[in-house]
Amino acid sequence: MYASYAEGTMPVADTTGPGIGLFIFFFILFVVIGIGSLVFFIIALVDIAKRPDWQWKMAGQEKILWLLLVILINFLAIPSLIYWFSIRKQLQAVEEAAAKGLYGPGHMTYGGWEPAPVPATAPAGWYQDTSGQAPYRWWDGARWTEHTSTGSQPAP
């Protein structure tokens, strides 16, 4: 008079369905995040490497530091995301400013931006000596010379 399990009188719960479904969901999520991180890693790395050193200097950033951060600590592409949405904008702003000539004439050196020499605005001639050593001092068009005059303004 006892019911046996073989006769099907007692329902048996299926516990493997939700476990396998969750496993498949998280596995697919892991693969998608992993591939996305790898793709973004490559894009950020190429963008960092192609930018010239002067842009990094003008933006106050270090190219080598960001290369190392992206290469060595690219967990979930976090350094790549920081570079892409923060540092890259600074580099683009420097590039646009340089293209518009906002830094003025000059060139980039290892130490930073070096402006071109400013042409002399005053022509060469005798001018009042602001140092007070003599009434007049000779301006050669680029700098003050040691030549002075004690009388009235001499002829050139």
pLDDT score, position 11: 59
Separation CA 107–CA 89 (nearest Å):
22
Can you give the pTM of this predicted structure?
A: 0.54
pLDDT mean over 78-99 = 88
45 within 8 A of 71, measured Cβ to Cβ? yes
Amino acid 96 reads E
Q: Which range, of 1-5, 87-91, 115-119, 135-139, averages the lowest pLDDT?
A: 1-5
Per-residue pLDDT of 31-80, as tens digits, reads: 999 898 889 899 999 999 998 888 898 888 999 999 999 988 877 788 99
87 within 8 A of 79, measured Cβ to Cβ? no
The first and second tokens of residue 117, run together, are 């020499």
Q: Read off the pLDDT band of 4 (50, 70, 90).
A: low
The first and second tokens of residue 58, run together, are 């003008």
144-149 vs 136-139, strand pairing mode: antiparallel
Separation CA 71–CA 65 (nearest Å):
10
Q: Which range, of 6-20, 51-65, 141-155, averages the lowest pLDDT?
A: 6-20
pLDDT mean over 85-109 = 81
pLDDT at position 7 over 60: no
Per-residue CA distances from 37 to 40, 44, 63, 73, 77 (Å):
5, 10, 21, 12, 5
pLDDT score, position 120: 52
3-state secondary structure of 121: coil
Residue whose tokens read 């842009």: 55
Q: How many alpha carbons lie under 13 Å from residue 60 in its C-beta half-sphere?
A: 4
| Sheet with 125-128, side-by-side order of all strands | 125-128, 136-139, 144-149
